[in-house]
């Protein structure tokens, strides 16, 4: 039967990280018909040639045909630079492109959502859904001794679709990580998934340890369910807009218009449309369909059907920069494999023959530190540091976790040159310290463009205006924290035993202007070299106790002022979390699917 002729109960827009979870869970009921519309292709049959599935080849799909290749508008806080904003355009979405980091935020991160009035979204509410999404494969006793890897059984799922594990073999620099951070007063954690990730620890990754392949929504949720007769997925299909009907002065979402292979089709849903297009495209599709701020819609030539000034607003993103250090020439890294054809061929052979070698290694040396953790005794006397500590969480939100402030800065250390700005000397070896801001005060927006032709309204083919407003307004404090983080990177690399392999800092280069202080120099550096950490949230956020005055969806993820329309993806998060987003998005999708089932059971 043609897709448009199927009598769907549910239609899901976006076959990405969240969308495929919702599809798999709803289609567990054989009495309902579930449809999924994905703009990109499927890569489940090897079309990616290993670029998605082979863990150590992370990053190869960035900028490829599997990427939407979004860009921000010029950012005045970044000296006029535009940033690339990769987003997955493939079945599995960004879970097919990310670097497989698997962690959770602090208990207080999620409790803050509930404190806004979003009942049912606290840490305790979400923990069962975190566990439901994953199957954790514990490290062996030998692995725990050798790599300082540990875990707590009660906080790791054992029966979920996503396979998670500590990688079998770590890079040669990891042996120094914990002792170095401990020397700086940063403790090692037993498990980063317990609702407290402040400290030093080893990253768990979304990898199937048996196959040594990426575990993502397409392989873990969709593939096992693909044979269900009530689950229908079309790829290479672009949703043009929602179909809305007005009854009793209220709009109802009844279906979608879709373009596929040059043809326009319409698909209807008897119960609900679920929008899972992500933080960039969920607000875009709402606005294209007439749901959003009046001024934005009118400027784009779109009829206003449901006015909501919050659509596309409240954009929050983790920011990142990379400091690069020259290391001992005897150390090897992924760079060597990528650059050297002989080493790459050897890595390919090792992976094909025994699922071993460089293609199974991921960066795993991680620490989350508060502002107090990353400041030296000198910097603690700088006027404003105490203010940075408190304002990092927003007004009246200086949350504590086991006596420590939540980690405002994430540090990841790995051999190789990760900087997109530093070319380096081919005869030298390098390591990179990534520093990522977790709780930004910068607030931006994502909206459809104003129409350039008065005769033609804006369409979904016109890429949206992405304006994170990095380091502007209150975001000025973000820059100050990032400057402290830049200095902290040096302190880590100057501390034994890690310092034993460090020959010196290569990037940023030594300060040349004697009239510029170290703090000013670091602030200039972060303005010129900050990029996104690819974790946008908030553009269709839950409104809590203020409802439509503060958000786009209620605590059941139903769009305000609408019938038959929910949003389930990272865009519904009202506040940023101190963690990579992947595990939280899976939990949101698991919980969202449950809410749909509950609401229709009680209807």
List the end-to-end C-alpha distance of the chain, in Å, as a whole number: 29
* Same domain, residue pair 484 and 423: yes
Tell me the CA distances in angstroms from 169 to 96, 173, 447, one per residue in order: 22, 12, 44
Q: What percent of the chain has pLDDT over 70?
A: 94
Reported as a pLDDT band with limits 50, 70 and 90, residue 514 is low
* Same domain, residue pair 420 and 484: yes
**What is the spatial distance between Cα 552 and Cα 481, in angstroms, rounded to a whole number?**
30
* Same domain, residue pair 429 and 343: yes
**Angle, helix 107-115 to helix 123-132, in steps of 10 degrees:** 120
Among candidate residues 513, 529, 545, the one where a domain is terminated: 529
The DSSP annotation for 536-582 comes to: -B-TT-B-GGGGGGT-SB-TT-BBTTEESEEE-SGGG-SS--SS-SH
Reported as a pLDDT band with limits 50, 70 and 90, residue 520 is confident
Q: Is the pLDDT of residue 512 over 70?
A: no
The reported pLDDT for the residue numbered 157 is 95
Confirm whether 128 is domain-assigned.
no
Q: Which residues are annotated as a binding site for FAD?
A: 90, 94, 239, 534-535
pLDDT digits (tens, 9 = 90+) for 328-362: 999 989 999 999 999 999 999 999 999 999 999 99
The reported pLDDT for the residue numbered 453 is 86
* Same domain, residue pair 242 and 296: yes
Average pLDDT (317-330) is 96
The DSSP annotation for 360-422 comes to: G----EEEEE-HHHH--TTGGGSTTHHHHHHHTT-TT---EETTEE--SEEEEEEES---SS-
Q: Is the pLDDT of residue 393 over 60?
A: no
* Same domain, residue pair 242 and 260: yes
The reported pLDDT for the residue numbered 603 is 77
* Same domain, residue pair 367 and 435: yes
* Same domain, residue pair 423 and 301: no
Q: Is the pLDDT of residue 469 over 80?
A: yes
Q: What percent of the chain has pLDDT over 90?
A: 89
160 φ, ψ (degrees, to nearest 5): -90, 165
Q: Is the pLDDT of residue 160 over 50?
A: yes
The reported pLDDT for the residue numbered 517 is 65
In the predicted model, what is the mean pLDDT of the chain? 93
Peptide bond just before 497 cis, omega within 30 deg: yes
130-134, 138-142, 422-426: range with highest mean pLDDT: 130-134
The DSSP annotation for 510-533 comes to: PP--TTS-HHHHHHHHHHHH-EE-
- Model pTM score: 0.95
* Same domain, residue pair 272 and 291: yes
Q: At which residue do the structure tokens 């495929």 appear?
A: 20
Confirm whether 140 is domain-assigned.
no
524 is catalytic: no
Confirm whether 125 is domain-assigned.
no
Confirm whether 146 is domain-assigned.
no
Reported as a pLDDT band with limits 50, 70 and 90, residue 248 is confident
- Give me the domain span that covers residue 351: 168-202+318-442+471-529
The reported pLDDT for the residue numbered 391 is 46
Q: Is the pLDDT of residue 186 over 60?
A: yes
Confirm whether 304 is domain-assigned.
yes
pLDDT digits (tens, 9 = 90+) for 373-385: 998 655 544 444 4
Confirm whether 190 is domain-assigned.
yes
The reported pLDDT for the residue numbered 403 is 41
Average pLDDT (248-264) is 95
Picking from 599, 591, 106, the residue whose alpha carbon sits closest to that of residue 393 is 106
580 is catalytic: yes
CB distance 38 to 256 below 8 Å = no
Q: What letters, b where the CB count within 10 A reaches 16 and e where it falls short, cover 46-68?
A: eebebbbbbbbbbebbbeeebbb
The reported pLDDT for the residue numbered 375 is 87
Higher pLDDT, 519 or 141: 141
Q: Where are the beta strands (DSSP E) in 40-119?
A: 70-71, 84-85, 101-102
Active-site residue, selected from the candidate residues 477, 529, 535, 549? 535
Q: Is the pLDDT of residue 394 over 70?
A: no
The DSSP annotation for 129-152 comes to: HHHHTEEEEPPPHHHHHHH-----
The reported pLDDT for the residue numbered 405 is 72
Count CA within 13 A, CB hemisphere, residue 515: 0
Mean pLDDT check: name the lowest of 145-159, 210-224, 512-526, 527-541. 512-526
CB distance 132 to 593 below 8 Å = no
Q: Which residues are annotated as a binding site?
A: 90, 94, 239, 534-535
Among candidate residues 479, 507, 529, the one where a domain is terminated: 529
pLDDT digits (tens, 9 = 90+) for 3-62: 999 999 999 999 999 999 999 999 999 999 999 999 999 999 999 999 999 999 999 999
* Same domain, residue pair 345 and 418: yes
Domain tally, the chain: 2
Peptide bond just before 508 cis, omega within 30 deg: yes
* Same domain, residue pair 6 and 30: yes
The reported pLDDT for the residue numbered 521 is 86
The reported pLDDT for the residue numbered 380 is 46
pLDDT digits (tens, 9 = 90+) for 396-449: 344 333 344 799 999 999 999 999 999 999 999 999 999 999 999 999 999 999
CA angle in degrees (0–180, nearest 5) for 119-123-125: 50
Higher pLDDT, 387 or 30: 30
> Across-strand partners of 507?
324
Confirm whether 510 is domain-assigned.
yes
365 φ, ψ (degrees, to nearest 5): -85, 105
The CATH number of whichever domain residue 286 belongs to comes to 3.50.50.60
* Same domain, residue pair 502 and 598: no
Q: Is the pLDDT of residue 112 over 50?
A: yes
* Same domain, residue pair 293 and 339: no
The CATH number of whichever domain residue 480 belongs to comes to 3.30.560.10
Confirm whether 189 is domain-assigned.
yes
């Amino acid at each position: 039967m043609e897709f448009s002729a199927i009598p769907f109960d549910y239609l899901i827009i976006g076959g990405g990280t969240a969308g495929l979870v919702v599809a798999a869970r709803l289609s567990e009921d054989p009495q309902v018909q579930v449809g999924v519309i994905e703009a990109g292709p499927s890569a489940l049959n090897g079309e990616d040639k290993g670029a998605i599935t082979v863990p150590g080849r992370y990053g190869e799909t960035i900028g490829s045909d599997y990427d939407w290749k979004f860009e921000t508008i010029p950012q005045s806080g970044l000296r006029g630079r535009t940033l690339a904003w990769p987003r997955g355009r493939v079945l599995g979405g960004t879970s097919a492109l990310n670097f497989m980091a698997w962690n959770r935020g602090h208990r207080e991160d999620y409790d803050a959502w509930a404190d806004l009035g979003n009942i049912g979204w606290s840490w305790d509410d979400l923990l069962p859904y975190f566990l439901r999404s994953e199957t954790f494969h514990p490290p062996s006793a030998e692995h725990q001794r050798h790599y300082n890897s540990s875990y707590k059984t009660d906080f790791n799922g054992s029966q979920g679709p996503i396979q998670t594990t500590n990688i079998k073999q770590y890079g040669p620099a990891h042996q120094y990580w914990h002792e170095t951070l401990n020397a700086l007063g940063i403790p090692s954690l037993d498990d980063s998934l317990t609702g407290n990730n402040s400290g030093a620890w080893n990253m768990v990754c979304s990898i199937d340890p048996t196959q040594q392949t990426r575990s993502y929504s397409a392989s873990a949720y969709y593939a096992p369910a693909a044979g269900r007769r009530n689950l229908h997925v079309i790829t290479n299909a672009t949703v043009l807009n929602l179909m809305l009907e007005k009854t009793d002065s209220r709009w109802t979402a009844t279906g979608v218009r879709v373009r596929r292979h040059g043809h326009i089709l319409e698909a209807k849903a008897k119960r609900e449309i679920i929008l899972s297009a992500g933080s960039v495209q969920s607000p875009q599709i709402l606005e294209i369909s007439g749901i959003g701020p009046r001024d934005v819609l009118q400027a784009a030539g779109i009829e206003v059907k449901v006015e909501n000034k919050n659509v596309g607003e409240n954009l929050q993103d983790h920011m990142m920069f990379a400091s690069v250090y020259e290391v001992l020439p005897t150390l090897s890294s992924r760079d060597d494999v990528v650059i050297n054809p002989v080493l790459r061929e050897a890595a390919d052979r090792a992976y094909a023959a025994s699922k071993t070698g460089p293609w199974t290694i991921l960066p795993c040396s991680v620490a989350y530190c508060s502002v107090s953790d990353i400041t030296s005794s000198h910097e603690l006397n700088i006027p404003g540091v105490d203010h940075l500590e408190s304002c990092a969480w927003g007004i009246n939100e200086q949350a504590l976790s086991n006596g420590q402030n939540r980690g405002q800065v994430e540090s990841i250390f790995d051999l190789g040159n990760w900087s997109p700005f530093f070319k380096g000397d081919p005869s030298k070896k390098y390591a990179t310290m990534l520093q990522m801001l977790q709780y930004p005060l910068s607030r931006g927006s994502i909206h459809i463009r104003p129409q350039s032709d008065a005769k033609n309204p804006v369409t979904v083919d016109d890429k949206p205006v992405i304006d994170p407003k990095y380091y502007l307004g209150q975001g000025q404090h973000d820059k100050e924290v990032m400057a402290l983080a830049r200095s902290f990177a040096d302190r880590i690399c100057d501390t034994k035993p890690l310092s034993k392999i460090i020959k010196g800092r290569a990037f940023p280069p030594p300060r040349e202007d004697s009239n510029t202080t170290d703090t000013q120099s670091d602030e200039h550096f972060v303005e010129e070299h900050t990029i996104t950490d690819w974790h946008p949230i908030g553009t269709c956020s839950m409104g809590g106790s203020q409802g439509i005055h503060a958000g786009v969806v209620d605590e059941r993820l139903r769009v305000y002022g609408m019938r038959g329309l929910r949003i389930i993806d990272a865009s519904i998060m009202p506040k940023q979390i101190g963690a990579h987003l992947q595990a939280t998005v899976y939990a949101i999708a698991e919980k969202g699917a449950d809410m749909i089932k509950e609401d229709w059971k009680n209807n």
